[in-house]
Amino acid sequence: MLKPCYRCLAGVICALVLVVPVVAAADNSKSDKYLIRASDNLRTILEQKINLPVRIVLRSGQELRGTVERLGTGIVQVSHLVGSEHYDAVINLDDISAVVFRVRQP
């Protein structure tokens, strides 16, 4: 009489093995999108990226890559600049065209 129980248990384990990765994959697909809110602006996005690497595209077309260190009134400090690791940059927020950052893991 125990054999049917083993079959049920084996069926449940097989179902979990097959279903759990699918659910986990569905959750990961949600995390590889960046959604902006209607109230977002460059400042709020940069605040979310403090201590994270970003690429900042200036209106002039120049790009700076580094780590967002802190924000001031109308400025952002970017440290560990790629190619100039010993330097920081202070950038006027009005001069920024875009902020590029990683959303998905390779």
pLDDT tens per residue across span 48-98:
999 999 999 999 999 999 999 999 999 999 999 999 989 999 999 999 999
pTM of the model: 0.66
Q: What is the DSSP string of 20-52?
A: HHHHHHHHHHHHT-----TT--HHHHHHHTBTS
Inform me whether the pLDDT recorded for 42 exceeds 60.
Answer: yes
How buried is 46 (Cβ within 10 angstroms: 0-12 exposed, 13-18 middle, 19+ buried)? buried
Within 10 A of 71 (CB to CB), how many other CB atoms are there? 17
Gap between the Cα atoms of 99 and 64, Å rounded = 10
> Which pLDDT belongs to residue 34?
79
Stated as kind and residue range, the H or E segment containing 2 is helix 2-31
Q: Average pLDDT over the chain, rounded to whole?
A: 80
